[in-house]
Structure formats: C-alpha cells, structure tokens
Amino acid sequence: MLRYVAHRLLASIPVLFLVTLISFSLMQLVPGDPAILIAGLQATPAEVERIRHQLGLDQPFHVQLFSWYAHLLRGELGTSLLLGRDVLEVILERLPVSFSIALYALFLTVLVGLLAGIVAALRQNTLIDQLVMTVALIGVSLPNFWLALMLIVLFAVQLGWLPSGGYVDFRQDLWGWLRATTLPAVSLAMLQMGLLARITRSTMLEVLRQDYIRTARAKGLPQRLVVGKHALKNVMIPVVTVLGIVLSLLLSGSVVIETIFSIPGIGSLLGSSILRRDYPVIQAGLLFVATMLLLLNLLVDLVYAWLDPRIRYGRGE
Amino acid sequence: MRVIRWLGASAVLALSVGLATGEARAQFTCPVKGGDLVFGQEAKVNSLDQHASSTISTRNIAMHIYESLMTRSEDNDPIPELAESVSTSDDGKVHTFELRQGITFHNGKPMTSKDVVASFERYKKVGIERVILNNVESWEAPDPHTFVIRMKVAQPTFLEDLSSFSVPIVITPAENTEAPPLKMEPIGTGPFQFVEFVADSHVKLKRFEGYKPNTAFKDRTGFGGYKVACLDTVTFRIVTEPGARVAGLETGELHAVEDVPQASVKRLKENKAITIVPYENFWIHIATPNFAKPPTDNPLVRRAIQIALDMEEIMEAATDGAYNLNFGFQTKNRKVYSDKGKEFFNVKDPAKAKELLKQAGYKGEELVLLTNKDYTSMYNAALVMAEQLKAIGMNVRLEVQDWPATIATRDKSHDAWNYHFTGWGTNQALGYLAVFKFLAKPKPIYNFKNPEDTDPVFDAAYNDMISKPTVEERYEAFARVQYRVMENGLALPFGWLTKNQAVRSNVKNFVPFRIPRMYNVWMEK
C-alpha cells in the first residue's frame, strides 16, 4: 500500500508541472498588466516600464517561467505584486477559512444528502420519495449566488437569526464562527446535497435488489441492520467518489459565495488576484488547488480499498 | 513675499454669522462620543501605503490615518492641514511652510520638519504622482517647524497640485520612510489610528487620543478643517456584492455603505431606520477615442458620432436613473465652471449625423467599442451607444473584456479599439487643472500610438491653463480647453453619475464627499 501511495505521489509531480505550465502560459496570454495597475493611469510609459523591470515582468517568458520553478524548488512562492506580502503566508492565512467552511458544507452535504437518498430509496415511489427528489432537483438547479442572496434576505434581513456576511475565526469564537458560516455553508452544500441524494437513492435501489440483501431479509434481520450493515457499505463506493469531487470543489473555495458573504478565503483571493493580474498569487493558488485535487483523489482511492476488501493496490494488481 | 495664513472657511462663516447675531460660533464638539461604526466598502484594499497605492479603496481608509501639509476644502480649494501657513517668495520660486506645533504621530513621536523631508523623499522615489515634484529643485528643513521647497521655475499652480488628494504626499515618521512600495507602516497624524488589516475582510481603526485638531477652523471641511473622532472605532468591512451591502445595512450589521444600487434605493427610502445620502457628480461617464485606428482618425466621423447620440437614453440605461446631464467637465458650483462646447453635447440628430458620415467618406469601417462588465454602467452605456450608431448606418462591434484587460488593450493594442469606456472621477473632483490630464502630453490618451502627434489647439490652451499667472487667465484657458475637447471630439462625455451612499438613521453628520469621512460623525444610541 505504501509503495502504491509513493507511486501515486511521484506520478502527481508531472501533473502539477503541467498545471503550472499551462496556468503560467495562459496568464501571459491574457491582456492586462499589473505594472499599469500599480503605476496608476497617469504614469508615463517609462514609469510603467521601470515597474515592469522591478517586478521582472520585462523578462522573456522562459526566463520568468524558469525563475518561478527555481524559486518553487526552494520552497518560495514569491511575493504578491499588489499585496506586497509573501504568497505562501497569504495562502496559509486563507486556508483555515476556506477549509473550515468546506468541512462544514461537507458535513451538511453528507448528513442531509445521504439521509435523504436512503429515505427516498426505502420509500420508493411514495410521496416521500417524490418530495425528496423534487427538493434535490431544486437544490441541483438553483444557482448558488441566487440562493445565497435569498438566504440572506430570509435569515438575516427578515428573521434576523444569522449575520448577512463576514467571517469569525473559529479559534477565537466558535459560536460566532457557526453563525457566520451557516449561510455560506448551506449555499455551498445545497447543490452537493441534491447531487448526493440522487446518487445515493439510485445506488441504494440497485443494492437493495441484490441477492445478499434478499438473503439477509430472509434470515429475518431487522430493516436497520439490512440497510445499515449490509446495504450502506456497498452504497458508499459511488458515494465516496462523489464526496471526493464535492470536497475538492468546496476546498478550492467558491469565488461567488466568498464574495457574496465577504469571506476572506482562497476563492476570494484567487478571484481578486485574477482581476488584479497578481501573477504569483494566481500561480500559487492554482498549484494549491491542483495539489488538493490530487491528494483527494488519492484519498478516495484508499477509501475504496477500505470499503471493499476486493480492491487491493500494489504490485501485480 | 506673499504670506497666506488661512482662516478656515467655516471660521469665516462663523465670523459673519457672529456679526449678524452677536455671538461667535463655537468649534465642533461631539454630541455623542463612542461606538463602533461599521462601513460597508465596495472594493478590496491591497495596501494602506498612501504614497504607493492610487486606489479609491486605499484612500477611503488611509485618509483617516494620514494627513498632508495641505489638502482640499469642501469647495475643493487648497487649505493647510499640517501646515500653519505657507508663504511664497515674490519670484514664486520658494514656498515656505510653517508647521503646526504639538502634532504627534500615532507612535507617540512629535512631528517635525525632518519627518516632512523624509516623507517627501520617499514620495519622490515611490509616490504614484511624483510627477508633481518634477519642478522642485530642492527642499530643506531649516528648523524643526519649517519646511522650504525651492522650485526650478515659478509654477503658479504648484500649491494646488501639492494639495491633491488623489495620491497625497502624506507625512509619516522619518523612520517609516525606508519601506518599499506598498509596505509602509500605517502611522500618521490623523484622527484615527490603525488597529488591524485582514486582507479581503476588514480594516479596523480606533480614535487617536493624542490627535490635535486644527484650530484655524471651526469644523470639518473637505479632507481638512477641525476634525474630531467622535467614534471609538471604525471598521471598514469589504463587502463587494451590492446586494449583501444593502442586506447588511438593513440588518444593522453595517452602519453606512457606499454604492447602493439604484434599484434598492426606492425600497430603502421607505425604511425609517435608513437614510439615503446621494453623492451627485461622482464621475463623468465618458468614452475616449483612438486617433490611430480608422474611422475615429477622421474628425468628421467623430463629429457625426457626437451628433447622433442621445445621452439621456445612454445614461438612463447605464445608471438606472442615477445621473444628471449637466454639461461641463467641472460642476456648476465651482467658480471655474463653463458651458463652452455645449453645442456639441446631446445633439441627438441622426439625420445630420448620417449626412456627416457621407461627407466623411465613411465606407462601413468597423467601429470597436472597448468596454467591460466589471463596471456595469460602462457596459450598458456601450450597448446603447452601439445601437444608436447602428441606426445611422455604422458598423459597430462591442469588445468586452475585464477592466484590467481594457486598460492594457487601450495602452498597447492601438489597432484593436476606437472608443474606450471609462469614468473620470478623481481627476474631475481634483479640479480644472487635473480633469484633462489624460488628454495632455506626454501620454495623450487619444493617441498613444503617436504621442507626439497631438492636437496643437488643445495643447496651447492646456499650456495656458496650467501656467498663466492669474486665476482668471487660467479659468479662461480652461473654457478654451473644454471647447476644444468637444469641438475635436477628444473625449465623448455622456453625463454625470450619482453614487448613492446610505447610513443607518442613528449615524449623524455623515455628509457624502469624494471619500467617506468618519471624523465629526457620531452615532446616537
């Protein structure tokens, strides 16, 4: 297993190289010059050129690229052109924000999505099934920016139960964090809940028709054991695949949700850096997101093996 | 030697009122002291280094922390801030600033002329608008309370430039001035001092207990005057989504916000807990032509376009009704105001425009309108303009990019656009000397490709405007510049945008200005 993990980690290096190469090249192609933004609109061409020189933006593409990789190998992600701060420091500052909200949203997704899917499958073709699937369909269909604004109007403006925006650090005030992140987490989770509920329902229906389930029932096992012990574990394989995708989406941050709720997370950082052409932050942000995706994929594969003993990773398999 | 000692505008007013009523107006005092005001700010802040950042979002906050030798009054006139007086030698080449005494920085250190010298030195190196110091030969600090600037040649408009609030030469402790661009510690002499900055989240300031108000004035005026921090703290929270800003104001989490969407104004007006404070003439909605790409290289085509347009239709779509069509590049309340060139504005005569296109020999060349969606109003204005020009037979294409890309395209891709959509805000607010800077040498926005090939009539009038010795002559030159801009289509103004700000009703004395001012503002409990 260790050999497999090591192999996967090594295999991710060329992937990350490609991701950074493509993102670096794309940023060079997009019009927009941070030097102009820094210098101000009234700056003379000579002043803009001076700033470009200071930032190293006047270097040929390949020089800039190799310089970036050389710094990366030394563990340096550079300095933000517009924040004037170390990029790694800026990203690490945002990480707990996006991470905590992502986990909260994942918790809601699993709790509601899984439960709704199981209930709908067990009550197939009843009113409950139709109701759950209709709600799930609405969840999948609603644009999250619209949902977020509606949640603000209802829970912040009309009912006054939750704040309309802002972020509270969970290390300082857990209750404040819970209040501040509930609406963003629900907005993020709604789409994922719908997806998960639908996938859980269809997988569960398939599993419930299997012979071993019929056998378990014939043995006289109660419903909770049939579902909880025998069916659920088999349902989890496709569900875990979806959860991996969901978590990677949540962790990479949501530009829209973080913007609406004024949350200083990774998504908001990446969004504003793209608008300000802050190349080092964009590059490091995308590298971070790509790394997270690769690690999550690996984690999902490892969970498969835990869930299904037939799946084994290693030499000769 | 001409010595200028200021009796603040409000002090003059108080004197005249006092003469009439037999009593002098007292200096401002806070009716209520305390409270944490939370302001919903629309744009993100990259740095609080007021020398090296030109964004409005930086100014919103930094102008509460820092002060300059001179600033602008409510009427946009230059007034002293950290200077007690300014005297100018008879030949106009030496400006001597006597500094106010007893001023301390937020770090507790007294401010002296050494700090002023160091701050000017840093600005000369990294200041965004260091061009205003180009004509300065040297400066010196003969004693701790005097700062002297020697000019290469007399420049009658120098003090006006020096008082600019665009990217002001703020005074910071000498030991703070070695900082590289964007990294200066936010230490100033202003009524509020820095507490914390969480990027993309908020900036918090608190009252500076050691602040010494300028007793030459009775009350706040512009960015100067007699300033008092009534509030304990001010938190500038970054809320970029307009709907979320409005919601925050309605719930009371935000006490004041900027840029309220016009669509929400009617509803908010019905809410007694909220007061809308519109800031009129925030910027001139405008498009600037490119002389390097046909068909806008042809003055007759530019004139045809000018004549065809219905500005009311354009501004209505662009701003959802938050505008006025007053003609002019300065507002009517300013002494310099002129309506010269009005005959070229909002003519809406498509038939005549078609005739002019024929005369110009227009053969259906593509006209590219370069706009963006980051500022919806610019995008909408371009959409309507495109339709109006198609109606006179022009071949129009919209090129939509994000804002930084449009700037880069405008500056570098001279064959890719004909009109660039923008807004002239800070420069028009700074006054007549600044408003046409974009059209002047060495970087005339209408001809980046051939910056030497400029409009000689405009250049001559512009030169008079910035160099004539008397104000009257400069005002007259301004009118000529404005006329030429319209006559030759150097810029295409659409109208003035109104920016709605709003406060909770318990927030008092919040008067909209170029940037929100939190001094002399209090909150009733």
Same domain, B401 and B513: no
Same domain, A150 and A257: yes
Same domain, B374 and B519: no
Nearest to A197 by CA among A160, A149, A263, A243: A243
Facing residue for B47 by CB, picked from A31, A84, A259: A84
Same domain, B348 and B225: no
| Residue A175 pLDDT greater than 70, yes or no | yes
Same domain, A221 and A268: yes
- CATH number of the CATH domain containing A201: 1.10.3720.10
Question: Distance between CA B494 and CA B284 in Å, rounded?
Answer: 7
Q: How many domains does chain A have?
A: 2
Mean pLDDT of A199-204: 90
Question: Distance between CA B76 and CA B160 in Å, rounded?
Answer: 10
Residue at A82 is within a domain: no
Same domain, B237 and B292: no
Percentage above 70 pLDDT, chain A: 93
Could you please report the per-residue DSSP string of A166-220? ----TTT-HHHHHHHHHHHHHHHHHHHHHHHHHHHHHHHHHHHTSHHHHHHHHTT
Report pLDDT for B514.
Answer: 83
Residue at A276 is within a domain: yes
- The answer to whether B47 contacts A83, with C-beta atoms less than 8 Å apart, is yes
Facing residue for B247 by CB, picked from A33, A156, A268: A156
Nearest to B305 by CA among B410, B409, B419, B453: B419
Does a cis peptide bond (omega within 30 degrees of 0) precede residue B261? Answer: no
How close does chain B come to A33, measured CA to CA in Å? Answer: 6
How close does chain B come to A90, measured CA to CA in Å? Answer: 9
Chain B residues with CB-CB distance to A269 below 8 A? 199-200
Same domain, A115 and A63: no
Same domain, B160 and B96: yes
Mean pLDDT of A152-160: 91
Helix (H, G, I), strand (E, B) or coil at B35: coil
A50: closest chain B residue by CA: B126
B40: closest chain A residue by CA: A262
Same domain, A279 and A203: yes
Report pLDDT for B15.
Answer: 34
Facing residue for B250 by CB, picked from A44, A157, A167: A157
pLDDT tens digits, one per residue of B210-239: 999 999 999 999 999 999 999 999 999 999
Residue at A316 is within a domain: no
| Residue A44 pLDDT greater than 70, yes or no | no
Q: Tell me which of A42, A73, A104 is where a domain ends.
A: A73
Counting as low any pLDDT under 70, the low residues of chain B are 1-25
Query: Facing residues of B110 across strands?
Result: B104
| Residue A40 pLDDT greater than 80, yes or no | no
Query: Facing residues of B286 across strands?
Result: B422, B493
Nearest to B63 by CA among B189, B182, B180, B181: B189
Helix (H, G, I), strand (E, B) or coil at B524: coil
How close does chain A come to B129, measured CA to CA in Å? Answer: 8
Same domain, B218 and B303: no
Mean pLDDT of A162-178: 91
Same domain, A116 and A242: yes
Contact B381, B317 (CB under 8 A): yes
pLDDT tens digits, one per residue of A119-154: 999 888 899 999 999 998 888 888 888 999 999 999
Residue at B255 is within a domain: no
Chain B residues with CB-CB distance to A160 below 8 A? 251
- The answer to whether A275 contacts B438, with C-beta atoms less than 8 Å apart, is no
A164: closest chain B residue by CA: B248
Residue at B385 is within a domain: yes
Question: Distance between CA B70 and CA B62 in Å, rounded?
Answer: 16
pTM: 0.83
Same domain, B234 and B165: yes
Contact B518, B234 (CB under 8 A): yes
Nearest to B93 by CA among B161, B163, B147, B152: B152
Nearest to B446 by CA among B299, B341, B321: B299
Same domain, B217 and B307: no
Q: How many domains does chain B have?
A: 2
Facing residue for B248 by CB, picked from A38, A165, A276: A165
Contact B470, B249 (CB under 8 A): no
Same domain, B288 and B206: no
A31: closest chain B residue by CA: B405
Nearest to B49 by CA among B195, B173, B184, B193: B184
Residue at B275 is within a domain: no
Could you please report the per-residue DSSP string of B117-153? HHHHHHHHHH-TTGGGGTTEEEEEEEETTEEEEEESS
Residue at B300 is within a domain: yes
- The answer to whether B240 contacts A33, with C-beta atoms less than 8 Å apart, is no
Report pLDDT for B14.
Answer: 36
- The whole domain housing A53 covers 2-73
Same domain, B299 and B441: yes
- The whole domain housing B447 covers 281-498
Q: Which two tokens stand for residue B392?
A: 């006179």
Residue at B270 is within a domain: no
Question: Distance between CA B137 and CA B473 in Å, rounded?
Answer: 26
Question: Distance between CA B220 and CA B508 in Å, rounded?
Answer: 14
- The answer to whether B408 contacts A38, with C-beta atoms less than 8 Å apart, is no
Question: Distance between CA B186 and CA B120 in Å, rounded?
Answer: 16
Residue at A313 is within a domain: no
Q: What is the ipTM of this complex?
A: 0.75
Same domain, A108 and A45: no
How close does chain B come to A190, measured CA to CA in Å? Answer: 19
Residue at B210 is within a domain: yes
Residue at B274 is within a domain: no
Which residues fall within 8 angstroms of residue B302, CB to CB, at 6 or more apart? B289, B296, B488, B489
Residue at B272 is within a domain: no
Task: Enter the DSSP assignment of B110.
Answer: B
Same domain, B195 and B129: yes
- CATH number of the CATH domain containing B50: 3.40.190.10
- The answer to whether A264 contacts B199, with C-beta atoms less than 8 Å apart, is yes
- The answer to whether A268 contacts B411, with C-beta atoms less than 8 Å apart, is no
Question: Distance between CA A166 and CA B320 in Å, rounded?
Answer: 29
Residue at A155 is within a domain: yes
Same domain, B110 and B65: yes
Question: Distance between CA A13 and CA A146 in Å, rounded?
Answer: 39
